[in-house]
Amino acid sequence: MFVGSVSDNFDERIEQKIFHAEIVMDNEKVATETKAYQQIPQILSFINEQGEDKLKQEIENNYKQIKSDILNIVISEMERIKNDPNLQYLLNQQ
């Protein structure tokens, strides 16, 4: 048994704002469906030939690569702005 309430929008009135109800489950049907579940196939494994889990190392490598890519983009864009007379005002020249 559970109870609840709802609110309405100004232009969409709801007459009954409080309710109570009971959720009835068909346990046999749920059990049958659960037995039919199939394992999700593994697409990628981080276990190497020696049986070592390399997930953390792979995450670290990806992090470093993304960080390097972003730094290269920033350097490239700063150089582009510096060489464009119409955009040079964007750089703080001190």
Give the tens place of pLDDT for each residue, 21-56.
788 889 999 999 999 999 999 899 999 999 999 999
**Residue 75 tokens, joined:** 């350097």
At 6 the pLDDT is 75
What percentage of the chain has pLDDT greater than the value 90? 68
Residue 5 pairs in a beta bridge with: 18
Q: How many domains does the chain have?
A: 1
Domain span at 66: 55-90
The answer to the question of residue 6 being in a domain is: no
The answer to the question of residue 64 being in a domain is: yes
Can you tell me whether residue 82 is helix, strand or coil?
helix
Contact 73, 81 (CB under 8 A): no
- Please tell me the pTM assigned to this model: 0.50
CA distances from 4 to 7, 19, 24, 42, 93 (A): 10, 6, 17, 41, 61
The answer to the question of residue 7 being in a domain is: no
The answer to the question of residue 84 being in a domain is: yes
From 33, 4, 30, select the one nearest 17 (Cα to Cα).
4
